[in-house]
Structure 1
Amino acid sequence: MVRSTFWDRSTEPLVPPAPTSESYDDVVVGAGAVGLAVATALAQRGRSVLVVEAHEAVGHGTTARSTGKLALLQGTRLSTIAKDAGLDAAGDYLAMCREALEWVRPVLARHDVATTRRTSASWGEDLGDVDATRDEDSAARALGLATRWQRSAPDGLPGHGAVLLDDELQVDPLAYTVALAHEAMAVGVDISVGRRVTKAVGHPQAVVHCDDGSAVTGSQVVLATGIPVLDRSLAFATTKPVRSYALAFASPGAELTMSVSVGQASISVRDAAGSGSTTSEAVVVGGLSHPVARGGSEARRIETLRRWTRDHLPGAGEELDAWSAQDYTTPDDRPLVGRLPGATPVHAVTGFGKWGLLAGVGAARRLADAIVAGDDVGRFPPSRLAGPKRAATITAWNGEVGAAMVAGWLGAARQGRRPRATSTVDGCTRTVSGVCPHLGGVVRWNDAEQTWDCPLHASRFAPDGRVLEGPSTSPLEG
């Protein structure tokens, strides 16, 4: 089972007190970094805010399962945006991340969350990646970052060329999430855990219904759930859900560059300390992302990551933990923010491509500013995706989704029956419907985490059919 993270060793997820009100100015769905950031920003402007979280505690979602990099150098993000949309667009993205960092730093200090400063690096694993690292260096320097380029990969890693930036921050991402929750509660935000939102209806007030039969009202609803649940915008057609993996190995005293490779099979490396400490106890290696429920055995990918670590990080000792996380990429590597179609006032923010600890927080706080000011934040998804280049990417992505749909149902047709999902975990055999309630995809077994995952839009379910991750808001039927 891929469940426990290295961060769970030193930080406890947070179970806030249950709220008593049923009416708020704003209801935010999702208690990760994005949801907590937008909730805090709204409350700081005098609004009453509720955050509703499907997990049983704050700290069980994507934010807390990340590698905890608060970096402005993010692979080749700046040069990719600059090539696609111009240097001004890349500059705006960087400014958004800087705004988030300036807000986050004092929050972490107030809540005694230790950070460590490291040089960050984007390195090329192959000779063909050298130009990409040089382009990132050029774009970063043009935007005012004091990067530098070198011919060798950092820390003796295999590769050719790297762009580096000194004095970047890394953090325990679970401690980061819990600190953001405490900050939100300190300014009056209520947080309700263990409630999955199933629908929002009504105008001008939205009535938000949950799976426990309860409902709350708000003048605005913000979805910070990855692919937006309650989706009326076809947002699932404009993002690609990817799952990636992380391993922690004992490595006391190691101080490593905070690195990420820019090749197709991206690898992330950092050292890690226990909560409240800056002394390294481990090395965390992550990567090998792939579209959810597509790309073969998840367990085999984790084993590949193990071999890579043993081959290239000789200081890595005993394996401590293995886990995975899910995030969403966009056709142009920029977050998607906007109001969903329809009369009910629902906004969404998603698509951070694994850099949500800053990009997501920055996008969320800008959305909060727009909501309070009454500005038009635009429809979701944004119009910038309407051009021919973006349309080609979106068409290709949805072609893959269609192929997965057809393959799943053809497999069921060959068996002559409606798809069923049967699993045996810890000696308990269960059979549930094999059809995802979201859009009818046929789920596939995740052999690392022992879950049923949908290859269409990445809904995930426990062996007994319970929803673990949206966009589905309904379980697999028994």
Structure 2
Amino acid sequence: MVKPIPADRESMWWAMREQPAPTPASEPSPALPSAVDVLVIGAGVTGLSAAVELARGGRHPVVVEAWRAGAGATGHTTAKVSLLQGARLQRIRQHASAEAVRSYVEANRIGQGWLLDLMRAHSEPVQTRPAVTYAVSDEGAQRVHREAEVAREAGLEIMDEAAHGLPFTTTAAISLADQAQVDPMGAVAALRAELEAHEGELIEGVRVTGLSGGNPWTVHTSAGDLRADAVIMATQTPVGFRGAAQNALSQAKRSYAIAYPLPSGIDPESFPMSLSLDASARSLRTAVGSDCPVLLVGGAGHPVGEGGSTTAHVAELDTWAREHFGVGEPLWSWSAQDYLLATAMPFIGALPVSHGTVLTATGYDKWGMALGAGAGLIMAADLLGGSPGHATAMRHHVTGWHDAASIGAQVAKTLERIVRDRVGSTKADEGAPAEGQGRVEQGPIGPRAVSTVDGRTCSVSAVCTHLGGVLAWNDAERSWDCPLHGSRFTSDGTRLEGPATADLAPVD
């Protein structure tokens, strides 16, 4: 059986490098400069790509990271650097024109090539594989056929794939040749080395808590304030900036990955990167493990803070892997979080009322390797004065009724959750929760979150410090998760990720 995933979220990629799992900074924060040219917040693929391109262009970026470089979504992805992205293109096409979809593909294509070239230049391994999208149901087959249609319209050389190399029967399958799979921490290492070679700076262990002023901006951090002429928020979703409507339009999704010793009969050199378009999506790829090749199985995704027991989601994924591949005991299991926007198209560029000096990228919908690099290049170009044409087409697609309906539904859902959850918490219960369990109960001044982890019972506010959502217990990772915008906290209230910038207050 798969063991509970620790809240510090150590992934296979971190474990193989024999480093401790990234945790909130507990040591004194390092010294910061008093003023910077461009401050980049977040040291994943997006932030580091933007910083590298800025440094190459003669700017002087400083990257700050709350934990360590690659500790967020980048270090927990399955790291497929692919232009074939499940049902991504057809979802965008529902909201945008064919030209906008082509621009989205172009941003991914440029980011993919740029990132892979950089990794090869720094001797980081890149494994070329075909990408396969498949289905095992009739409904899924319809989605596969629709994705092929939209992808071909966008200029991708999609092939109908009968001999896809999967050990089970499918109802439909398509493929795209010459895509790539990597170790995401190898990508981080290459980006970091390139940044330092161009005199850029990376400072770890500094959390940004807010911005104020403007021209220049005053950036508030755990290590004090500094001034910045421009700011790039490479944090998946904007943090500490009240003009960021993207938070209200986004939904956080959580998914899981399990790594097994590679089953006999699978050739790691030819097994394709695969993704299903059925109701329960399944992601597959091979990788180089510490002692042996591994099979990576991903999926069981759900909105953050919803969907019941997270342990049940992980168990469902493990059961599927055993039934279809006869895998043994897992070597690692972990989770990842990403955001999608109600408008489907990712947002890349300047935030409103920032006069072009605060930029962000969000809404990758689990495809942040090629797109993360592409988004970093776009934001760097914006600040260097040469925004590419494909960025313009992505930003100016016409808003239609699909956008309006999706935005309305997202806002209504947010308001409904705030009201329902505040009145729906249980009465105070005597006794501590069982080990690994948590509950939300009525407190004297609002809902409180009570949990027991490693024998320690903690009671903290159950109200998210971002926009006031009532938290839900995540029993797989033993954390408190917000269903509104994906902020997450440890059992004692320490912030883990998401747009929240403050910890949860203790409650007696």
TM-score, normalised to structure 2's length?
0.86
Equivalent residues in 2 for 1:51-90, closer than 5 Å:
51-55=63-67, 57-90=68-101
Contact 1:202–1:343 (CA under 8 A) maintained in structure 2:
no
Which residue number in structure 2 is paired with residue 293 of structure 1? 305
Alignment pair present for 1:225 and 2:223: no
Gap change, CA 1:399 and 1:154, over 3 Å in 2? farther
Amino acid of the structure 2 residue aligned with 1:233: A
Which residue number in structure 2 is paired with residue 400 of structure 1? 413
Residue by residue, what CA displacement relative to the aligned partner does 1:275-306 show, whole Å, maximum 9, x if unpaired? 8xxx9710000011111001111110000000
**Within 1, Cα distance between the matches of 2:129 and 2:300?**
23
Residue by residue, what CA displacement relative to the aligned partner does 1:305-359 show, whole Å, maximum 9, x if unpaired? 0001011112x22210110000001234321023223357321111111111011
Gap change, CA 1:422 and 1:79, over 3 Å in 2? closer
**Within 2, Cα distance between the matches of 1:396 and 1:154?**
40
**Within 2, Cα distance between the matches of 1:392 and 1:280?**
48
Give the deviation of 1:459 after TM superposition.
0.6
Q: Secondary structure at the match of 1:319?
A: coil
> Which of residues 323, 330, 335 is equivalent to 2:341?
330
Amino acid of the structure 1 residue aligned with 2:235: T
**Within 2, Cα distance between the matches of 1:100 and 1:375?**
14
Give the gaps of 5 or more residues in structure 1.
none
Q: Secondary structure at the match of 2:331?
A: strand
Contact 1:124–1:153 (CA under 8 A) maintained in structure 2:
no
**Within 1, Cα distance between the matches of 2:129 and 2:306?**
35
Alignment pair present for 1:38 and 2:50: yes
Equivalent residues in 2 for 1:192-231, closer than 5 Å:
192-212=203-223, 214-231=224-241
> Which of residues 191, 195, 200 is equivalent to 1:189?
200
> Which of residues 152, 160, 185 is equivalent to 1:149?
160
Gap change, CA 1:385 and 1:426, over 3 Å in 2? farther
Equivalent residues in 2 for 1:41-440, closer than 5 Å:
41-55=53-67, 57-150=68-161, 154-212=165-223, 214-231=224-241, 232-251=243-262, 254-255=267-268, 256-274=271-289, 281-314=293-326, 316-343=327-354, 345-373=357-385, 384=397, 386-412=399-425, 417=443, 418-440=446-468
Greater mean alpha carbon deviation, residues 231-240 or residues 438-447: 231-240
Gap change, CA 1:257 and 1:343, over 3 Å in 2? closer
Q: Secondary structure at the match of 2:408?
A: helix
Residue by residue, what CA displacement relative to the aligned partner does 1:24-57 show, whole Å, maximum 9, x if unpaired? 11001111111111111111111111111111x2
Q: Secondary structure at the match of 1:132?
A: helix
Give the deviation of 1:99 after TM superposition.
0.7
Alignment pair present for 1:447 and 2:475: yes
Residue by residue, what CA displacement relative to the aligned partner does 1:56-101 show, whole Å, maximum 9, x if unpaired? x212110110001011111122343345423222211111111112
Contact 1:335–1:359 (CA under 8 A) maintained in structure 2:
no
Gap change, CA 1:400 and 1:359, over 3 Å in 2? same
**Within 2, Cα distance between the matches of 1:260 and 1:247?**
15
Q: CA RMSD in A?
A: 2.6
Q: Secondary structure at the match of 1:72?
A: coil
| Aligned residue-pair number | 470
Contact 2:135–2:171 (CA under 8 A) maintained in structure 1:
yes
Give the deviation of 1:138 after TM superposition.
3.0
Gap change, CA 1:461 and 1:20, over 3 Å in 2? closer
Contact 1:206–1:220 (CA under 8 A) maintained in structure 2:
yes
Which residue number in structure 2 is paired with residue 4 of structure 1? 10
**Within 2, Cα distance between the matches of 1:32 and 1:147?**
30
Amino acid of the structure 2 residue aligned with 1:164: S
Greater mean alpha carbon deviation, residues 229-238 or residues 290-299: 229-238
Residue by residue, what CA displacement relative to the aligned partner does 1:372-415 show, whole Å, maximum 9, x if unpaired? 10769999x96658533212112212222223222321123755
Greater mean alpha carbon deviation, residues 427-436 or residues 398-407: 398-407
Contact 1:207–1:216 (CA under 8 A) maintained in structure 2:
yes
Give the deviation of 1:151 after TM superposition.
5.0
Give the deviation of 1:11 after TM superposition.
2.7
TM-score, normalised to structure 1's length?
0.92
Amino acid of the structure 2 residue aligned with 1:442: V
Give the deviation of 1:168 after TM superposition.
1.4
**Within 2, Cα distance between the matches of 1:386 and 1:413?**
42
Contact 1:13–1:59 (CA under 8 A) maintained in structure 2:
no
Contact 2:30–2:205 (CA under 8 A) maintained in structure 1:
no
**Within 2, Cα distance between the matches of 1:20 and 1:330?**
34
Contact 1:422–1:430 (CA under 8 A) maintained in structure 2:
yes
Give the deviation of 1:19 after TM superposition.
6.6
**Within 1, Cα distance between the matches of 2:448 and 2:150?**
50
Amino acid of the structure 2 residue aligned with 1:474: A
**Within 2, Cα distance between the matches of 1:117 and 1:383?**
34
Q: Percent identity?
A: 35
> Which of residues 34, 37, 43 is equivalent to 1:25?
37
Contact 1:31–1:58 (CA under 8 A) maintained in structure 2:
yes
Give the deviation of 1:144 after TM superposition.
3.5
Greater mean alpha carbon deviation, residues 391-400 or residues 58-67: 391-400
**Within 1, Cα distance between the matches of 2:252 and 2:405?**
18
